[in-house]
């Protein structure tokens, strides 16, 4: 089984895998430079120390002809993370990964090593670096169970004033007075965590090395995606993500047959992606696969046409925008046709009553009117940061007495400007709602071209609502409401861009990274995130998203990043990965 | 205690658009009233945005109820201090204006009362800085300065919004029963009857030079 490829050592518990094919891009990057990326913290914090100075990955004995596979997985009880890689020189490897000590290995033909958090297994010049952690909530519940069964009180009960301060000597004498042979709560928890960690690690190793069950051997889609001749591939098994979803425990235990039916609906729900590095572009082509019943819903959902009236409310030079076009009515009808029979089969009385309610609602509600009010075509734009008018209280002084009073005056504050809009066949519905709200509060005002809701945002800035020409638009952009309520005219999206959006299917998006970075308010970024945003400002690049063909079994989505820079795409890729990591963590 | 830290640092972090007034009235018998107002109404959007966050710069952001509870705790603790009475607080949560009014029997009791409460609330490691004197009154001359606990914090802030910083204002008003003879700070204004002084400094200048608010006010004998 373990011929030459390290991807064969990815455990079956892995749900997400990012596999870098072209390791050449890493050859020129020094270890210290690579580990300076924040995303590397997650996988290498125990691997590198001061001894890695001036060493490159090439010095680490890693085989650059093989893939580097980074994986993550979560089951009901444990989290598994790590990466696999090829090895050309084990001595060189341990000169960099020098925190590992040999472990008594029970794996045929393999050597196992351990550090404080991670384990390293080397078999046939393939390396598996793995960390297995029991799920924290599971450890806690098991600890609580044992702790209370021993007749202990809550570990958080202190029986004295919480604010009472104890000196170090008092705390020390308290510790000494405890029963030394009896573990306290935290010690018990640590012991349970340690035992579970070893148990789960053994389970993972048993599956992988004794039973020969790896993600590669068990998943056909994973095997397929690995043969794509691209720089990197991505794999995510949503079917198993569904299975371990915590909020489904009720369904699983109380309505097991319904759970199985819904699980069947999610069968084959796998997302794979190809990462293609061009000279001045990085393309991420994603395929979302699903079961046929679910696919038939998506197919109906995507049977929609983009409403071109939206185009005049998006500027051609907009920093960032997205459009989303779905046919909600078709999707509802199809979902009703597929999901209702599953629900009907259940004999549970509560569920049965809910099904009856759903049937009655379906029979009596005017669905055409509902889906005409929100037709399923929407858009959003980021318009940069602008000063918006607010009100403030200021103090004024009597020059004779220096007594002071308060008065309300105009003020200006900076805030990000967003617009969100959707098409509607029933402009009378939002009009009815707004007219009603205006009778409740004077903050709602109607002008000839728009409605304004004063102090809507953070009790300070106004929100404008434009209800015109089959579109309902919400924005905090005063300029759009007051000067362009009928759209931007010639400054709107060009016919060429419009054509691209129409072709894109249900989703399309665009971002001028430099413009967004320049306009992004850095006030609320963490200090370590600010330099990264600053570095993005120095890069010129555009990012575009479009969904492609939808079939009963899959949908294609592509994310393209184009840039003008002398830096190679590998460096750009690492920068982008780091940006995404920092902004999403 | 993080919440105290945030409560007292928030005005300084937002000093871009802040108005602070400290208004001290001292009668001939040494009693008086100290009023302190922080006005963040011109930063409403920013304050509301921060309050909507769970944490900022690694520190938990308190919600309005927690801030109000902390203000009430400050009020209750200060009311119990010797020589302090009639402690009133008013927190306008829509415009973010905090007003505190304290009657005192003597300047030294006012100072030790505030110090004592701040130490109890902050549980700060650097309590020595809070314990430093920032005001003194000998019946003839009043000396005021900014406590080093505040100045060291202020110095550590970065000037990311220098233009806006210049619009913040710190106003220090001192009132007496007798006319003022002289003041050490040349920027200090006196009212026509010379019974009140006013010193106004913008927050940006104050960050650059904290001695701008230092003043020694001497009364006519």
Q: Full-prediction pTM beyond 0.80?
A: no
To the nearest whole Å, the CA of B99 is away from the closest chain A CA by 12
pLDDT of residue A481: 94
Percent of chain A exceeding pLDDT 90 equals 25
Residues of B in contact with A460 (CB under 8 A): 44-45, 48
Distance separating alpha carbons of residues A535 and A215, to the nearest angstrom: 38
For residue B165, which of B82, B42, B27, B24 has the smallest C-alpha distance?
Answer: B42
Residues 6 or more apart in contact with residue A210 via CB below 8 angstroms: none
pLDDT of residue A125: 87
B128 or A409: which leads in pLDDT: A409
Strand ranges inside A352-403, DSSP E: 377-397
Residues of A in contact with B45 (CB under 8 A): 388, 390, 413-415, 457-458, 460-461
**Residues A413, B175: C-beta atoms closer than 8 Å:** no
Distance separating alpha carbons of residues A69 and A80, to the nearest angstrom: 14
Residues A376, A283 contacting (CB under 8 angstroms): no
A546 pLDDT exceeds 90?
no
**Residues A458, B48: C-beta atoms closer than 8 Å:** yes
What sign does the CA torsion over A570, A575, A580, A582 have? positive
* pLDDT tens-digit series, residues B61-110: 788 888 999 899 999 999 999 999 999 999 998 889 999 999 999 999 99
What are residue B104's DSSP bridge partners? Answer: B32, B84
Distance separating alpha carbons of residues A291 and A300, to the nearest angstrom: 14
Residues B72, B102 contacting (CB under 8 angstroms): no
Residues of B in contact with A462 (CB under 8 A): none
For residue B39, which of A396, A402, A398 has the smallest C-alpha distance?
Answer: A396
DSSP calls for A112-149? EEE-SS-EEEEETTEEEEEEEEE-HHHHHHHHHHHHHH
What are φ and ψ of residue A200, in 5° steps? -70, -35
**Residues B21, A395: C-beta atoms closer than 8 Å:** yes
Q: Residue A435 carries which DSSP code?
A: H
Angle, alpha carbons B83-B212-B97 (nearest 5°) = 60
Residues of A in contact with B196 (CB under 8 A): 401-402
Pick from B97, B191, B198: which is nearest to A393 by CB?
B97
* pLDDT tens-digit series, residues A87-140: 888 888 887 777 788 887 677 778 888 887 788 899 888 999 899 999 888 898
Residues B42, B191 contacting (CB under 8 angstroms): no
Distance separating alpha carbons of residues A452 and A389, to the nearest angstrom: 13
Q: Nearest residue of B to residue A525 by CA position?
A: B57
SS3 of residue A486 by DSSP: coil
Least confident of A194-208, A477-491, B1-15, B158-172: B1-15
Average pLDDT value for chain B: 80
Please, is A564 exposed, middle or buried when counting C-beta atoms within 10 Å of its C-beta (0-12, 13-18, 19+)?
A: exposed
A27 pLDDT exceeds 60?
no
* pLDDT tens-digit series, residues A227-284: 888 888 989 998 877 666 555 666 666 667 777 777 777 778 899 999 887 778 888 8
**Residue B33, domain extent:** 2-219
DSSP calls for B185-220? -TT-EE-TTSSEEEEEEEHHHHHH-GGGG-EEEEE-
Distance separating alpha carbons of residues A130 and A70, to the nearest angstrom: 10
SS3 of residue B109 by DSSP: helix
* pLDDT tens-digit series, residues A10-24: 999 999 998 887 555
Band (B159; pLDDT cuts 50, 70, 90) = very low
The domain tally of chain B equals 1
pLDDT of residue B61: 79
SS3 of residue A525 by DSSP: coil
Pick from A394, A413, A527: which is nearest to B45 by CB?
A413
Residue ranges per structural domain of chain A: 1-156+166-218, 379-491
B24 pLDDT exceeds 50?
yes
Chain B residue set in contact with A, beta carbons under 8 Å: 17, 19, 21, 23, 37, 39, 41-46, 48-50, 52-53, 56-58, 94-95, 97, 160, 171, 173, 175, 191-193, 196-198
Percent of chain A exceeding pLDDT 70 equals 79
A564 or A481: which leads in pLDDT: A481
* pLDDT tens-digit series, residues A366-376: 888 888 988 88
**Residues B45, A399: C-beta atoms closer than 8 Å:** no
Distance separating alpha carbons of residues A458 and A73, to the nearest angstrom: 39
Q: Nearest residue of A to residue B41 by CA position?
A: A392
- Taking CA atoms, B186 is separated from A406, B70, B136, B178, B199, in Å, by 27, 38, 20, 20, 9
A527 or A67: which leads in pLDDT: A67
Average pLDDT value for chain A: 81
In the predicted model, what is the mean pLDDT of residues B111-121? Answer: 87
**Residues B39, A527: C-beta atoms closer than 8 Å:** no
pLDDT of residue B6: 39
pLDDT of residue B36: 92
Least confident of A30-34, A109-113, A120-124, A359-363: A30-34
- Taking CA atoms, A361 is separated from A300, A367, A425, in Å, by 21, 9, 22
To the nearest whole Å, the CA of B166 is away from the closest chain A CA by 15
Residues of B in contact with A585 (CB under 8 A): none
B53 pLDDT exceeds 90?
no
Residues 6 or more apart in contact with residue A141 via CB below 8 angstroms: none
Chain A residue set in contact with B, beta carbons under 8 Å: 388, 390-395, 397, 399-402, 404, 406, 411, 413-415, 457-461, 522-524, 526-527
């Amino acid at each position: 089984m373990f011929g030459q490829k390290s991807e064969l050592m990815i455990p079956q518990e892995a749900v997400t895998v990012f596999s870098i094919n072209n390791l050449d891009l890493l050859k020129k990057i020094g270890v210290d430079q690579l580990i300076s990326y924040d995303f590397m913290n997650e996988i290498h914090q125990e691997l590198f120390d001061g001894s890695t100075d001036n060493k490159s990955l090439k010095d680490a004995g890693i085989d650059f002809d093989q893939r580097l596979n980074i994986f993550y997985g979560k089951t009901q009880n444990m989290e598994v993370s790590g990466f696999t890689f090829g090895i050309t020189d084990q001595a060189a490897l341990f000169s960099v990964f020098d925190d590992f000590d040999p472990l008594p290995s029970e794996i045929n033909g393999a050597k196992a090593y351990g550090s404080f958090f991670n384990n390293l297994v080397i078999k046939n010049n393939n390396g598996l670096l793995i960390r297995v952690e029991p799920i924290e909530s599971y450890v806690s519940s098991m600890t609580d169970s044992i702790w209370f069964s021993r007749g202990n009180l809550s570990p958080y009960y202190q029986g004295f004033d919480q604010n009472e301060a104890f000196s170090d000597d008092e705390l020390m004498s308290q510790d000494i007075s405890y029963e030394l042979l009896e573990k306290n709560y935290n010690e018990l928890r640590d012991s349970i965590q340690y035992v579970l960690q070893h148990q789960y690690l053994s389970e993972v190793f048993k599956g992988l090395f004794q039973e020969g069950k790896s993600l590669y051997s068990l998943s056909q889609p994973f095997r397929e995606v690995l043969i794509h001749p691209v720089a990197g591939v991505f794999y995510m098994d949503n079917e198993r993500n569904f299975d371990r979803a915590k909020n489904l425990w009720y369904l699983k235990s109380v309505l097991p047959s319904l759970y199985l039916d819904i699980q069947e609906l999610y069968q084959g729900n796998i997302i794979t992606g190809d990462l293609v590095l061009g000279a001045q572009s990085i393309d991420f082509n994603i395929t979302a696969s699903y079961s046929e019943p679910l696919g038939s819903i998506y197919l109906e959902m995507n049977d929609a046409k983009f409403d071109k009236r939206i185009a005049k409310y998006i500027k051609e030079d907009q920093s960032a925008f997205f459009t989303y076009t779905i046919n909600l009515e078709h999707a509802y009808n199809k979902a009703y046709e597929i999901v209702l029979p599953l629900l009907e089969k259940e004999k549970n009385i509560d569920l049965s009553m809910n099904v009856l309610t759903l049937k009655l609602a379906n029979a009596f509600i005017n669905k055409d009117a509902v889906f005409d009010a929100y037709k399923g075509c929407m858009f959003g734009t980021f318009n940069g940061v602008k000063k918006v008018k607010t009100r403030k209280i200021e103090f004024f002084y009597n020059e004779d007495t220096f007594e002071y009073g308060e008065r309300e005056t105009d003020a200006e504050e900076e805030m990000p400007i967003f617009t969100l809009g959707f098409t509607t066949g029933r402009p009378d519905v939002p009009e009815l709602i707004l007219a009603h709200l205006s009778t409740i509060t004077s903050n709602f005002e109607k002008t000839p071209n728009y409605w304004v809701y004063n102090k809507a945002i953070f009790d300070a800035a106004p929100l404008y609502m434009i209800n015109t020409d089959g579109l309902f638009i919400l924005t905090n952009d005063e300029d759009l409401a007051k000067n362009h309520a009928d759209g931007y005219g010639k400054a709107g999206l060009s016919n060429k861009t419009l054509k691209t959006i129409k072709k894109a299917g249900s989703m399309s998006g665009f971002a001028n990274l430099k413009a967004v970075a320049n306009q992004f308010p850095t006030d609320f970024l963490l200090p370590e995130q600010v330099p990264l945003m600053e570095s993005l400002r120095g890069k010129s690049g555009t990012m575009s998203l479009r969904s492609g063909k939808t079939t009963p079994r899959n949908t294609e989505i592509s994310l393209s990043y184009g840039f003008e820079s002398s830096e190679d795409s590998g460096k750009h890729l690492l920068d982008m990965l780091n940006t995404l990591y920092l902004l999403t963590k | 205690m993080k919440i105290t830290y945030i409560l007292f640092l928030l005005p300084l972090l937002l000093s871009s658009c802040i108005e602070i007034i400290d208004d001290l009235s001292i009668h001939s018998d040494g009693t008086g009233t100290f009023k302190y107002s922080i006005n963040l109404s011109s930063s409403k959007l920013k304050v509301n945005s921060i309050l909507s966050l769970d944490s900022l710069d690694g520190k938990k952001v308190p919600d309005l109820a927690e801030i109000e509870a902390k203000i009430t705790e400050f009020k209750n603790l200060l009311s119990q201090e010797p020589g302090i009475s009639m402690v009133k607080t008013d927190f306008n949560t829509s415009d973010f204006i905090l007003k505190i009014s304290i009657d005192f029997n003597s300047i030294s009791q006012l100072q030790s009362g505030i110090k004592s409460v701040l130490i109890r609330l902050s549980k700060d490691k650097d309590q020595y800085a809070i314990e430093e004197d920032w005001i003194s009154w000998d019946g003839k001359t009043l000396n005021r300065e900014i406590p080093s606990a505040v100045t060291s914090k202020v110095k550590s802030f970065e000037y990311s919004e220098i233009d806006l910083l210049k619009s913040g204002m710190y106003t220090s008003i001192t009132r007496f029963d007798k006319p003022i003879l002289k003041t050490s700070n040349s920027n200090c204004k006196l009212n026509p009857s010379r019974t009140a002084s006013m010193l106004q400094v913008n927050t940006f200048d104050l960050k650059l030079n904290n001695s701008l608010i230092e003043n020694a006010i001497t009364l006519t004998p």
